[in-house]
Protein backbone atom coordinates (compact mmCIF):
# COMPACT_ATOMS: atom_id res chain seq x y z
CA UNK A 1 0.00 0.00 0.00
CA UNK A 2 1.10 3.58 -0.73
CA UNK A 3 0.01 6.93 0.62
CA UNK A 4 -1.13 9.53 -1.91
CA UNK A 5 -0.91 13.02 -0.39
CA UNK A 6 -2.02 16.31 -1.90
CA UNK A 7 -1.44 19.78 -0.44
CA UNK A 8 -3.81 20.36 2.47
CA UNK A 9 -3.85 21.72 6.00
CA UNK A 10 -4.89 20.64 9.46
CA UNK A 11 -7.94 22.38 10.84
CA UNK A 12 -8.84 22.99 14.45
CA UNK A 13 -10.35 20.13 16.40
CA UNK A 14 -10.11 17.58 19.20
CA UNK A 15 -8.55 14.19 18.46
CA UNK A 16 -7.49 11.03 20.27
CA UNK A 17 -4.65 8.88 18.96
CA UNK A 18 -4.26 5.14 19.68
CA UNK A 19 -2.81 3.76 22.91
CA UNK A 20 0.85 3.77 23.83
CA UNK A 21 2.67 0.90 22.15
CA UNK A 22 5.41 0.53 24.78
CA UNK A 23 2.92 0.39 27.65
CA UNK A 24 0.59 -2.00 25.78
CA UNK A 25 3.44 -4.48 25.24
CA UNK A 26 4.44 -4.35 28.88
CA UNK A 27 0.87 -4.69 30.17
CA UNK A 28 0.49 -7.93 28.21
CA UNK A 29 3.86 -9.33 29.29
CA UNK A 30 3.67 -8.46 32.97
CA UNK A 31 -0.02 -9.29 33.19
CA UNK A 32 0.74 -12.75 31.79
CA UNK A 33 3.28 -13.57 34.51
CA UNK A 34 1.28 -11.95 37.32
CA UNK A 35 -1.00 -13.69 39.79
CA UNK A 36 -4.64 -12.90 39.10
CA UNK A 37 -6.24 -10.86 36.34
CA UNK A 38 -4.92 -7.70 34.73
CA UNK A 39 -7.56 -5.51 33.13
CA UNK A 40 -6.17 -3.41 30.28
CA UNK A 41 -8.05 -0.50 28.74
CA UNK A 42 -6.81 1.69 25.90
CA UNK A 43 -4.71 -1.18 24.50
CA UNK A 44 -3.04 -0.50 21.14
CA UNK A 45 -4.57 -2.99 18.71
CA UNK A 46 -1.70 -2.55 16.26
CA UNK A 47 0.16 -5.39 14.59
CA UNK A 48 3.16 -5.23 16.92
CA UNK A 49 1.12 -5.55 20.11
CA UNK A 50 -1.15 -8.19 18.58
CA UNK A 51 1.96 -10.26 17.83
CA UNK A 52 2.84 -10.08 21.54
CA UNK A 53 -0.72 -11.07 22.45
CA UNK A 54 -0.58 -14.09 20.14
CA UNK A 55 2.76 -15.16 21.62
CA UNK A 56 1.34 -15.32 25.15
CA UNK A 57 -1.78 -17.11 23.94
CA UNK A 58 0.60 -19.69 22.43
CA UNK A 59 2.23 -20.08 25.86
CA UNK A 60 -1.03 -20.90 27.59
CA UNK A 61 -2.17 -17.51 28.87
CA UNK A 62 -5.91 -16.88 28.70
CA UNK A 63 -6.61 -13.43 27.27
CA UNK A 64 -10.17 -12.21 26.78
CA UNK A 65 -10.91 -9.35 24.41
CA UNK A 66 -14.00 -7.38 25.36
CA UNK A 67 -13.22 -4.96 22.51
CA UNK A 68 -10.27 -4.01 20.33
CA UNK A 69 -8.85 -1.90 23.16
CA UNK A 70 -10.13 -3.65 26.30
CA UNK A 71 -8.53 -6.91 27.46
CA UNK A 72 -8.52 -9.21 30.46
CA UNK A 73 -5.22 -11.06 30.95
CA UNK A 74 -5.51 -14.03 33.31
CA UNK A 75 -1.99 -14.29 34.66
CA UNK A 76 -0.30 -17.65 35.21
CA UNK A 77 2.41 -16.46 37.61
CA UNK A 78 6.16 -16.24 37.16
CA UNK A 79 6.55 -19.92 36.37
CA UNK A 80 3.19 -20.74 34.80
CA UNK A 81 3.96 -20.28 31.11
CA UNK A 82 3.94 -23.42 28.96
CA UNK A 83 5.96 -24.38 25.93
CA UNK A 84 4.53 -23.09 22.64
CA UNK A 85 3.86 -25.58 19.86
CA UNK A 86 6.20 -23.79 17.48
CA UNK A 87 8.14 -20.61 16.85
CA UNK A 88 6.86 -17.33 18.28
CA UNK A 89 6.54 -14.80 15.45
CA UNK A 90 6.90 -11.26 16.78
CA UNK A 91 6.41 -9.54 13.44
CA UNK A 92 8.08 -6.13 13.33
CA UNK A 93 8.45 -5.59 17.07
CA UNK A 94 11.91 -5.02 18.50
CA UNK A 95 10.33 -4.28 21.88
CA UNK A 96 8.64 -7.68 21.98
CA UNK A 97 11.76 -9.51 20.79
CA UNK A 98 14.11 -7.95 23.32
CA UNK A 99 11.85 -7.90 26.37
CA UNK A 100 10.52 -11.41 25.81
CA UNK A 101 14.03 -12.82 25.43
CA UNK A 102 14.74 -11.67 28.98
CA UNK A 103 11.43 -13.01 30.25
CA UNK A 104 11.90 -16.39 28.54
CA UNK A 105 15.59 -16.90 29.38
CA UNK A 106 14.82 -18.71 32.66
CA UNK A 107 11.72 -20.68 31.65
CA UNK A 108 11.69 -24.45 31.93
CA UNK A 109 11.14 -24.80 28.17
CA UNK A 110 13.05 -23.71 25.09
CA UNK A 111 11.67 -21.18 22.63
CA UNK A 112 12.53 -19.71 19.26
CA UNK A 113 11.67 -16.10 18.45
CA UNK A 114 11.37 -14.96 14.84
CA UNK A 115 10.22 -11.79 13.12
CA UNK A 116 9.67 -10.20 9.74
CA UNK A 117 12.50 -9.21 7.39
CA UNK A 118 13.09 -5.93 9.18
CA UNK A 119 13.14 -7.41 12.69
CA UNK A 120 15.34 -10.28 11.55
CA UNK A 121 17.99 -7.71 10.60
CA UNK A 122 18.07 -5.83 13.92
CA UNK A 123 20.96 -6.23 16.40
CA UNK A 124 20.36 -8.54 19.35
CA UNK A 125 23.93 -8.90 20.66
CA UNK A 126 23.11 -6.02 23.00
CA UNK A 127 20.72 -8.32 24.91
CA UNK A 128 22.54 -11.59 24.33
CA UNK A 129 25.70 -10.26 26.04
CA UNK A 130 24.15 -9.40 29.43
CA UNK A 131 21.85 -12.43 29.39
CA UNK A 132 24.86 -14.67 28.77
CA UNK A 133 26.57 -13.06 31.77
CA UNK A 134 23.49 -14.04 33.78
CA UNK A 135 23.91 -17.65 32.64
CA UNK A 136 21.32 -17.73 29.86
CA UNK A 137 21.88 -19.58 26.61
CA UNK A 138 20.62 -17.52 23.67
CA UNK A 139 21.74 -18.32 20.14
CA UNK A 140 21.34 -16.07 17.11
CA UNK A 141 22.47 -15.85 13.52
CA UNK A 142 26.21 -15.34 13.10
CA UNK A 143 25.75 -11.56 12.91
CA UNK A 144 23.79 -11.40 16.15
CA UNK A 145 20.38 -11.00 14.56
CA UNK A 146 17.18 -13.07 14.90
CA UNK A 147 15.91 -15.75 14.86
CA UNK A 148 16.80 -16.27 18.53
CA UNK A 149 16.89 -19.72 20.12
CA UNK A 150 16.47 -19.54 23.90
CA UNK A 151 17.41 -22.69 25.82
CA UNK A 152 15.11 -23.67 28.65
CA UNK A 153 15.89 -25.09 32.08
CA UNK A 154 18.74 -22.66 32.79
CA UNK A 155 19.40 -21.12 36.22
CA UNK A 156 20.14 -17.41 36.04
CA UNK A 157 22.09 -15.27 38.47
CA UNK A 158 21.85 -11.55 39.05
CA UNK A 159 24.41 -9.15 37.60
CA UNK A 160 25.46 -5.52 37.94
CA UNK A 161 25.47 -4.36 34.33
CA UNK A 162 26.45 -1.03 32.78
CA UNK A 163 24.62 -0.44 29.52
CA UNK A 164 27.03 0.56 26.74
CA UNK A 165 24.19 2.51 25.07
CA UNK A 166 20.98 4.08 26.33
CA UNK A 167 18.23 1.55 25.61
CA UNK A 168 15.00 1.00 27.50
CA UNK A 169 14.57 -2.30 25.67
CA UNK A 170 17.91 -3.68 26.88
CA UNK A 171 17.33 -2.35 30.40
CA UNK A 172 13.88 -3.96 30.52
CA UNK A 173 15.18 -7.25 29.13
CA UNK A 174 17.72 -7.51 31.96
CA UNK A 175 15.21 -6.51 34.64
CA UNK A 176 12.69 -9.11 33.46
CA UNK A 177 15.38 -11.78 33.50
CA UNK A 178 16.31 -10.54 36.97
CA UNK A 179 12.87 -11.51 38.26
CA UNK A 180 13.98 -15.13 37.80
CA UNK A 181 17.64 -14.85 38.78
CA UNK A 182 19.41 -15.80 41.98
CA UNK A 183 20.61 -12.60 43.63
CA UNK A 184 20.14 -8.92 42.96
CA UNK A 185 20.10 -7.51 39.43
CA UNK A 186 21.23 -3.93 38.76
CA UNK A 187 21.33 -1.98 35.51
CA UNK A 188 23.17 1.33 35.14
CA UNK A 189 22.18 3.54 32.21
CA UNK A 190 24.45 6.09 30.49
CA UNK A 191 21.40 8.35 30.03
CA UNK A 192 17.81 8.26 31.20
CA UNK A 193 15.51 6.10 29.06
CA UNK A 194 11.79 5.47 29.25
CA UNK A 195 10.85 3.86 32.55
CA UNK A 196 7.52 2.19 31.74
CA UNK A 197 8.81 -1.21 32.88
CA UNK A 198 9.86 0.06 36.31
CA UNK A 199 6.58 1.92 36.80
CA UNK A 200 4.44 -1.05 35.83
CA UNK A 201 6.45 -3.48 37.95
CA UNK A 202 5.79 -1.21 40.94
CA UNK A 203 2.10 -1.01 40.05
CA UNK A 204 2.02 -4.82 40.19
CA UNK A 205 3.70 -4.96 43.59
CA UNK A 206 7.36 -5.44 42.69
CA UNK A 207 9.93 -3.40 44.60
CA UNK A 208 12.20 -1.67 42.09
CA UNK A 209 14.90 0.65 43.43
CA UNK A 210 16.06 3.63 41.40
CA UNK A 211 19.14 5.59 42.44
CA UNK A 212 19.95 8.10 39.72
CA UNK A 213 20.82 6.02 36.67
CA UNK A 214 20.99 2.74 38.64
CA UNK A 215 17.92 0.49 38.69
CA UNK A 216 17.84 -2.64 40.87
CA UNK A 217 15.46 -5.41 41.84
CA UNK A 218 15.52 -8.58 43.89
CA UNK A 219 14.32 -11.88 42.36
CA UNK A 220 11.34 -14.02 43.25
CA UNK A 221 8.88 -11.20 43.81
CA UNK A 222 5.25 -11.92 42.99
CA UNK A 223 3.48 -9.74 40.47
CA UNK A 224 -0.18 -9.05 41.26
CA UNK A 225 -2.69 -8.37 38.50
CA UNK A 226 -3.75 -4.74 38.23
CA UNK A 227 -5.96 -2.37 36.27
CA UNK A 228 -3.84 -0.75 33.56
CA UNK A 229 -5.24 2.24 31.66
CA UNK A 230 -3.00 2.85 28.66
CA UNK A 231 -2.50 6.52 27.73
CA UNK A 232 -2.55 7.72 24.15
CA UNK A 233 0.86 7.29 22.54
CA UNK A 234 3.05 10.41 22.53
CA UNK A 235 4.94 9.05 19.53
CA UNK A 236 1.69 8.86 17.54
CA UNK A 237 0.53 12.23 18.87
CA UNK A 238 3.75 13.70 17.46
CA UNK A 239 2.42 13.37 13.90
CA UNK A 240 -0.73 15.29 14.82
CA UNK A 241 1.37 17.93 16.58
CA UNK A 242 3.58 18.24 13.51
CA UNK A 243 0.60 18.59 11.15
CA UNK A 244 -0.95 21.31 13.32
CA UNK A 245 2.30 23.24 13.72
CA UNK A 246 2.92 23.24 9.95
CA UNK A 247 -0.61 24.37 9.05
CA UNK A 248 -1.55 28.03 8.76
CA UNK A 249 -4.41 28.41 11.21
CA UNK A 250 -4.84 25.29 13.35
CA UNK A 251 -5.64 24.82 17.04
CA UNK A 252 -5.71 21.12 17.90
CA UNK A 253 -6.25 19.41 21.24
CA UNK A 254 -4.93 15.84 21.56
CA UNK A 255 -6.55 14.09 24.50
CA UNK A 256 -5.17 11.72 27.15
CA UNK A 257 -1.55 11.64 25.94
CA UNK A 258 1.13 9.98 28.04
CA UNK A 259 3.69 12.62 29.07
CA UNK A 260 6.07 10.46 31.08
CA UNK A 261 9.17 12.64 31.74
CA UNK A 262 11.39 9.93 30.22
CA UNK A 263 9.48 10.35 26.93
CA UNK A 264 8.95 14.12 26.70
CA UNK A 265 11.99 15.03 24.64
CA UNK A 266 9.91 15.71 21.52
CA UNK A 267 7.86 18.31 23.41
CA UNK A 268 11.01 20.04 24.65
CA UNK A 269 12.62 20.04 21.19
CA UNK A 270 9.55 21.35 19.36
CA UNK A 271 9.08 24.03 22.01
CA UNK A 272 12.72 25.08 21.63
CA UNK A 273 12.06 25.41 17.88
CA UNK A 274 9.17 27.78 18.57
CA UNK A 275 6.18 25.43 18.51
CA UNK A 276 3.13 26.69 20.43
CA UNK A 277 2.56 23.65 22.68
CA UNK A 278 0.84 23.54 26.05
CA UNK A 279 -0.04 20.69 28.40
CA UNK A 280 -3.51 20.93 29.88
CA UNK A 281 -5.38 18.99 32.56
CA UNK A 282 -2.37 17.06 33.94
CA UNK A 283 -3.34 13.85 35.77
CA UNK A 284 -2.31 10.23 36.29
CA UNK A 285 -3.36 6.97 34.64
CA UNK A 286 -2.11 4.72 37.44
CA UNK A 287 1.59 5.53 37.73
CA UNK A 288 1.84 7.18 34.31
CA UNK A 289 1.48 10.98 33.93
CA UNK A 290 -1.06 12.06 31.31
CA UNK A 291 -2.17 15.41 29.87
CA UNK A 292 -4.10 16.89 26.97
CA UNK A 293 -1.72 18.53 24.49
CA UNK A 294 -2.85 21.73 22.79
CA UNK A 295 -0.86 22.67 19.71
CA UNK A 296 -1.30 25.68 17.44
CA UNK A 297 0.16 26.71 14.12
CA UNK A 298 3.65 28.07 14.66
CA UNK A 299 6.68 29.45 12.89
CA UNK A 300 9.63 27.19 13.62
CA UNK A 301 13.28 28.16 13.78
CA UNK A 302 16.32 25.99 13.33
CA UNK A 303 18.26 25.01 16.45
CA UNK A 304 21.09 22.78 17.57
CA UNK A 305 19.25 19.91 19.25
CA UNK A 306 20.65 19.08 22.68
CA UNK A 307 22.14 15.53 22.50
CA UNK A 308 20.97 15.02 26.09
CA UNK A 309 17.42 14.89 24.75
CA UNK A 310 18.11 12.07 22.29
CA UNK A 311 17.21 9.20 24.63
CA UNK A 312 14.02 11.05 25.63
CA UNK A 313 12.83 11.36 22.01
CA UNK A 314 14.43 8.40 20.25
CA UNK A 315 11.31 7.41 18.27
CA UNK A 316 10.29 10.92 17.27
CA UNK A 317 13.31 12.03 15.25
CA UNK A 318 11.84 11.21 11.81
CA UNK A 319 9.03 13.68 12.57
CA UNK A 320 11.54 16.16 13.99
CA UNK A 321 13.50 16.00 10.71
CA UNK A 322 10.33 17.19 8.96
CA UNK A 323 9.92 19.98 11.52
CA UNK A 324 13.54 20.98 10.85
CA UNK A 325 12.92 20.99 7.10
CA UNK A 326 10.06 23.45 7.67
CA UNK A 327 11.98 25.74 10.03
CA UNK A 328 13.83 28.97 9.31
CA UNK A 329 17.56 28.25 9.17
CA UNK A 330 19.50 25.09 9.94
CA UNK A 331 18.79 22.42 12.54
CA UNK A 332 21.67 20.23 13.69
CA UNK A 333 21.02 16.74 15.05
CA UNK A 334 23.84 14.79 16.74
CA UNK A 335 24.03 11.69 18.92
CA UNK A 336 21.53 9.79 16.75
CA UNK A 337 23.64 6.74 15.87
CA UNK A 338 20.99 4.43 17.38
CA UNK A 339 18.61 5.53 14.60
CA UNK A 340 20.69 3.60 12.09
CA UNK A 341 19.55 0.26 13.58
CA UNK A 342 15.84 0.89 13.99
CA UNK A 343 13.17 -0.55 11.64
CA UNK A 344 15.24 1.14 8.94
CA UNK A 345 18.35 3.30 8.93
CA UNK A 346 16.27 6.31 9.91
CA UNK A 347 19.00 8.89 9.38
CA UNK A 348 19.56 7.69 5.81
CA UNK A 349 15.86 7.15 5.11
CA UNK A 350 14.83 10.62 6.24
CA UNK A 351 17.80 12.30 4.57
CA UNK A 352 16.98 10.63 1.25
CA UNK A 353 13.26 11.31 1.56
CA UNK A 354 13.72 14.99 2.39
CA UNK A 355 16.20 15.48 -0.45
CA UNK A 356 13.69 13.94 -2.86
CA UNK A 357 11.23 16.59 -1.69
CA UNK A 358 13.63 19.46 -2.30
CA UNK A 359 15.23 19.85 1.14
CA UNK A 360 18.98 20.20 1.66
CA UNK A 361 20.34 17.65 4.16
CA UNK A 362 23.96 17.05 5.16
CA UNK A 363 24.06 13.55 6.62
CA UNK A 364 26.85 12.20 8.84
CA UNK A 365 27.41 9.11 10.98
CA UNK A 366 25.44 10.09 14.08
CA UNK A 367 23.12 12.78 12.75
CA UNK A 368 22.43 15.39 10.12
CA UNK A 369 22.11 19.08 9.44
CA UNK A 370 18.75 19.91 7.89
CA UNK A 371 18.33 23.24 6.11
CA UNK A 372 14.83 24.66 6.26
CA UNK A 373 13.08 25.15 2.95
CA UNK A 374 9.92 24.28 1.02
CA UNK A 375 8.77 20.79 0.12
CA UNK A 376 8.26 19.92 -3.53
CA UNK A 377 6.08 17.12 -4.78
CA UNK A 378 7.60 13.75 -5.53
CA UNK A 379 7.82 10.07 -4.72
CA UNK A 380 9.60 8.86 -1.59
CA UNK A 381 10.28 5.49 0.01
CA UNK A 382 9.30 4.51 3.55
CA UNK A 383 11.65 1.49 3.55
CA UNK A 384 8.87 -0.41 5.30
CA UNK A 385 9.29 1.81 8.39
CA UNK A 386 6.08 3.08 9.99
CA UNK A 387 7.58 6.27 11.40
CA UNK A 388 9.31 7.18 8.13
CA UNK A 389 6.02 6.67 6.28
CA UNK A 390 3.99 8.88 8.62
CA UNK A 391 6.63 11.61 8.83
CA UNK A 392 6.92 11.94 5.07
CA UNK A 393 3.13 11.83 4.72
CA UNK A 394 2.82 14.89 6.96
CA UNK A 395 5.59 16.58 4.96
CA UNK A 396 3.57 15.87 1.82
CA UNK A 397 0.57 17.72 3.19
CA UNK A 398 2.50 21.01 3.02
CA UNK A 399 4.36 20.28 -0.22
CA UNK A 400 3.87 22.32 -3.38
CA UNK A 401 2.58 19.28 -5.27
CA UNK A 402 1.37 15.70 -4.79
CA UNK A 403 3.57 13.30 -2.84
CA UNK A 404 3.55 9.50 -2.97
CA UNK A 405 4.97 7.58 -0.01
CA UNK A 406 5.73 3.98 -0.99
CA UNK A 407 5.20 0.80 1.05
CA UNK A 408 3.28 2.08 4.07
CA UNK A 409 1.69 -1.15 5.32
CA UNK A 410 3.88 -1.05 8.44
CA UNK A 411 1.96 2.00 9.72
CA UNK A 412 -0.54 -0.45 11.21
CA UNK A 413 2.15 -1.72 13.59
CA UNK A 414 1.84 1.43 15.69
CA UNK A 415 -0.93 3.70 14.38
CA UNK A 416 -3.89 1.80 12.93
CA UNK A 417 -6.27 4.28 11.33
CA UNK A 418 -3.57 6.92 10.74
CA UNK A 419 -4.80 8.03 7.32
CA UNK A 420 -8.42 8.21 8.45
CA UNK A 421 -7.59 10.24 11.56
CA UNK A 422 -5.46 12.66 9.56
CA UNK A 423 -8.18 13.05 6.92
CA UNK A 424 -10.63 13.89 9.71
CA UNK A 425 -8.20 16.59 10.78
CA UNK A 426 -8.19 18.05 7.26
CA UNK A 427 -5.14 16.45 5.62
CA UNK A 428 -5.52 14.81 2.22
CA UNK A 429 -3.81 11.47 2.83
CA UNK A 430 -5.30 8.59 0.86
CA UNK A 431 -4.40 4.90 0.77
CA UNK A 432 -3.69 3.28 -2.57
CA UNK A 433 -3.58 -0.52 -2.77
CA UNK A 434 -3.46 -0.80 -6.57
Integer-rounded Cα radius of gyration of the chain? 21
432 is catalytic: no
Give Cα 140 distance to the centre of its chain.
Answer: 23
Helix (H, G, I), strand (E, B), or coil: what is residue 431?
strand
Which residue is catalytic, options 20, 116, 195, 315? 315
Q: 3-class secondary structure for the chain? A: CEEEEECCCCCCEEECCCECHHHHHHHHHHHHCCEEEEEEECCCCCHHHHHHHHHHHHCCCEEEECCCCEEEEEEECCCCCCCCCCCEECCCCHHHHHHHHHHHCCCCCCEEEECCCCHHHCCCHHHHHHHHHCCCCEECCCCCCCCEEECCCCCCECCEEECCCCCHHHHHHHHHHHCCCECCEEEECCCCCCCHHHHHHHHCCCCEEEECCEEEECCCCCCECCEEECCECHHHHHHHHHHHHHCCCCEEEEEEEECCCCCCHHHHHHHHCCCEEEEEEEEEECCEEEEEEEEECCCCECCECCHHHHHHCCCCHHHHHHHHHCCECEEEECCCHHHHHCCCCHHHHHHHHHHHCCCEEEEECCEEEEECCCCCCEEEECCCCHHHHHHHHHHHHCCCCCEEEECCHHHHHCCCCHHHHHHHCCCEEEEECC
Helix (H, G, I), strand (E, B), or coil: what is residue 47?
helix
Q: Backbone phi, then psi, for 334, in 5-degree steps?
A: -135, 165
Cite the active site residues.
315
Amino acid sequence: MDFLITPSAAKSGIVTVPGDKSISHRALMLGSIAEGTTEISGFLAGEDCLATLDAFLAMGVEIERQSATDLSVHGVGLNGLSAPAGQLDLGNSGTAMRLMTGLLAAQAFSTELIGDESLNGRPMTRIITPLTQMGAVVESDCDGTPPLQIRGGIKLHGIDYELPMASAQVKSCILLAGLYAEGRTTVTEPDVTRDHTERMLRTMGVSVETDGLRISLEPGQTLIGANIRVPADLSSATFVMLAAVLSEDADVLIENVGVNPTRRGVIDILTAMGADLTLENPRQFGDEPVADIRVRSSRLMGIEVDPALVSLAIDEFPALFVAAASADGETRFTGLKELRVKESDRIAAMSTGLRNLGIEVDEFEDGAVVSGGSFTGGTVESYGDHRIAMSLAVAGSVASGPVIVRDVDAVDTSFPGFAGLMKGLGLSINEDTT
